[in-house]
Structure 1
């Protein structure tokens, strides 16, 4: 009986060790994918003045206006670095676009815009999940910027075409896929055989 318990204990230790090693491999892959994505995407971040209904609605109107403006004028950007450089050069136009929305709504809150490198949590756009980490982003702040914020990806364009059903443009997904390996792309897309669990385990369906 003691021998059986000892064998069971050893097997448990072996399985735990294997699970830990596998978890470390998965975490290393997740970190590598995040670093790759960090250099291939340019994100967008809007912070509302407050969490009041009016300020949150205003945030979404600013978001829509800025995204529309960039979609119309950013078509020549061939990669994330070019999109970032364009946003830096046209910062005043982006501020003016956002300010016009506020003025139409009778709001006098201050608008600021900057291109920054900031830390994002895990975030899902449609069926694509970006792991937490540091990314370059265009950040627009409205007023005190103390309300809930909003994200999307400006390059490649993964901003929702239909925010109700969380539909992202097919073209943006194809551009993203073109700069990732099949395995890397599978790691960030829901419904594929490989899914990253950003802490410890990798599950297969």
Structure 2
């Protein structure tokens, strides 16, 4: 009896060990699968952001310094440049629905844009000057109400004021999401429709539902693109 009892005890211990090992193996496999899947999702998000970056054109203004005076000048330059661009572009590329047209227009009018900025600076009583360029810049996440543009590299019209050592301001020039009043930085239904027309279905889904976009692609993968 004692031998049989010992045998049963060892058998139960082996069963417990097998169950524990099975759970550990399953957990490890799940973690590896999840990590692999998340890596694929992150790569997918990065590719979509790169595609999105080709469809938009941003605006970036760097202040001379962080002093209250230079920050105020930055905002006045921003307003003057946006106003000038809207008026001039409406005449020259009316009806354009392509970010490329906006980029090309900016490249062809850098001197005029600098003059607009310089006139504001001079009017405010400062002697430093502005430098305008179209370049690729890194931008952090930017939210407009329920619209989120993910972080990454984007082409932008960049205007550097003086030493350009102060805090900057940015927006999306195309599609038109340049809100000069932060309290009104919510995309209207018409703005969303314009954004939807400018982006692919996947890009639009990304900017309107970033978290859901990741979850959907995590569970459905490439099949989600066919929906």
> How high is the TM-score relative to the length of structure 1?
0.86
Distance 2:49 2:58 in 1: 13
Question: 3-state DSSP class of the match of 1:17?
Answer: helix
Matched residue, 2:206: 187
Bigger share in strand: 1
Matched residue, 1:28: 43
User: Greater Rg, structure 1 or structure 2?
Assistant: 2
> After superposition, where does 1:25-64 map in structure 2 within 5 Å?
25-64=40-79
Distance 1:44 1:179 in 2: 17
Distance 1:157 1:194 in 2: 25
Question: 3-state DSSP class of the match of 2:158?
Answer: strand
Alignment match of 2:107 (pick from 76, 88, 91): 88
Matched residue, 1:109: 128
Structure 1 unaligned spans of 5+? none
Q: Are the aligned partners of 2:60 and 2:168 in contact in 1 as well (CA < 8 Å)? A: yes
Q: Are the aligned partners of 2:64 and 2:161 in contact in 1 as well (CA < 8 Å)? A: yes
RMSD, matched Cα: 2.3
- Matched residue count: 198
Bigger share in helix: 2
Cα drift, residue 160 of structure 1: 1.2
Range moving further from structure 2, 96-105 or 150-159: 96-105
Cα drift, residue 196 of structure 1: 4.2
Cα drift, residue 94 of structure 1: 1.0
Distance 1:171 1:82 in 2: 21
Matched residue, 1:137: 156
Q: Are the aligned partners of 1:157 and 1:169 in contact in 2 as well (CA < 8 Å)? A: no
Cα drift, residue 5 of structure 1: 1.4
> How high is the TM-score relative to the length of structure 2?
0.78
